Structure 1
Amino acid sequence: MSIIFLRTLFLLLVLAIANVAYKGRAFDKTSWGRIISLSLIFVISSLVLLGSNYKKLLITVNYITTGLFIIITLIWFTFPKIIRHYGKYPSLYLKDKKNNDRFMVRFELPSMTVKYFEVLFQQATFLFLLFVVLSGSQKITIIFLFTLIIIIIHLGNLFFMNKKWALFYTALSIPMAIIFGYMILGGFVFITDSIHLLFYLIFNATYWFNYNQKS
């Protein structure tokens, strides 16, 4: 149990370092140098967690899992053009100051680049929790503890974002942790990564087709 505690503390430390320059900020007017630096921080943090533990991981690599991930990645980076072609910029929604920190709604390439690597880092933390921190326990125990830790991590957003959205993502993290937990333990992290990215695209795209949205 002490090993689990120490490994969890290590994870929280890496999370804090990786997110200190990211949470609660917008990046649309940030230089590409800083965008690349922030993205590299997430990549390096992922390697710190998984680099020496890669032999413990179960990752299914085939045409379906990697193909889907590549397709979603291509859609992700072309989505700023796609959404501007079919949708309408949600200027009314973003005019409200309390919504200004929701940078994903703008679908600007700089912020989407950082978000992409942040999502990959989140998936790396899931792998670390499931295959390193909680390994050796029964599957149902792993899923329960994994869900509990994910809830605690998401509650940390209360320090960085609007309370409503912090609680929304915390509530959403419960079914996500259960579903993703079982899928990742089964080796399907490329699928969960694709779902994770796709969720952000669909959820934030709704503001481009709901012109009267104010909250």
Structure 2
Amino acid sequence: MKTNKMKIWIGCGIFCVLSLFLSTWYAVTFNDSRLVVPMDFKDYVFRAKDLPMILSISLICIYVISLFVMLFVYAGEKQRQVEETGVTRKVNPKWGWLGVLGFLGFAGFFTYSADGSVFPFAFFLFFGFFGFYYEGRMSGTFMDERFRENMVRARLKAYRISFSIMHVALIILCQGKLFGSLEYTLIATIITLSVALALGIFLSEYLLYRYDHDDLADESEE
């Protein structure tokens, strides 16, 4: 993807985060903390002052859905190119900055206290996008037999670590209610799964980069 488009996507993400924080500040300062602190939505009555908070949350949802669709289409196109040419796809290392979107996961603590929503915790998965930095460093690399072996080895180790974390976490969390609450157990599960998957995505690229460069260093010493 072109640098200009990447800057637009990153800028839109930053705008969505800032709009959420500004709308939260507005709600706390001028709207009696409506939609920020826990409230009974059975008796909820819409007010014009609720619009900033509603719009900011809607913008984040639209942005995330659009981002996932864009990345899915982009990944499909690049994968076809890789299979045809035998060369790793070209990725700008600056795409690694998308990993910053993982901090949106902390918005879940605000939404949970406001209306019980826990879906923002899934944003921790975006931390895996830091792996784009290492993938970008290996753009245009010819995938010979050695490179493919390193790719398989890196993915297996990354997936092993990721699934080990999920396995241990699920065993612990399934023992009973966390702090006596099933909701806290659900939140801990979402956070753990999101972080574990993000770690698997990141490690698969980082380990491949390290293995490939270690092999090149050994060959140069010989």
Output the TM-score relative to the length of structure 2: 0.31
More RCO (CA 8 Å, sep 6+): 1
Q: Which has the larger radius of gyration?
A: 2
Output the TM-score relative to the length of structure 1: 0.32
